[in-house]
Amino acid sequence: MTAMVSLLEKRGILRRKPSPTDRRVRQLFMTAHGNTVMQRLSEDWKPMREVLRKAFSGEAGKQALDILDKVFNEMQKERERLLQKSNPNSSRNMIFDESDASGPIFRKPSLRFKHNTKTQS
């Protein structure tokens, strides 16, 4: 993990800063360049997202997505439990975005498997 963060920091995508409240903690911030890279990656994946949207259409697709949602949620709960068990006071896994002038904001992981209920024409 540290090696990956160091690489992303070297490439100007992330920046580490000491926590103002806990000297042991280093917070990670997305840089403006990092946000640009994320936007470009998101745009590059648009065609693949459309393929996946079609593959998961209909009732069978909805059922598959519901199962993936349950698996994802259980994995998240277990991950949080293990992190809490290993270091109850840790906030080391937080990623913040510098673009908000009011200060760092915690970016919560988004649920990736939600079924789009809109019908496509």
Q: Where are the domains of the chain?
A: 2-97
CATH topology of domain 2-97: Arc Repressor Mutant, subunit A (1.10.10)
Is the overall model pTM greater than 0.85, yes or no? no
* CA–CA gap between residue 81 and residue 83 (Å, rounded): 6
* CA–CA gap between residue 80 and residue 94 (Å, rounded): 12
Q: Which long-range contacts (CB under 8 A, 24 or more apart) does 5-14 make?
A: 8/34, 13/37, 14/95
In Å, what is the CA distance from 53 to each residue of 49, 56, 67, 113, 119?
6, 5, 16, 10, 11
* CA–CA gap between residue 41 and residue 68 (Å, rounded): 23
pLDDT of residue 84: 82
Encode pLDDT of 64-75 as tens digits.
988 999 999 899
Q: Are 22 and 1 spatial neighbours (Cβ–Cβ below 8 Å)?
A: no
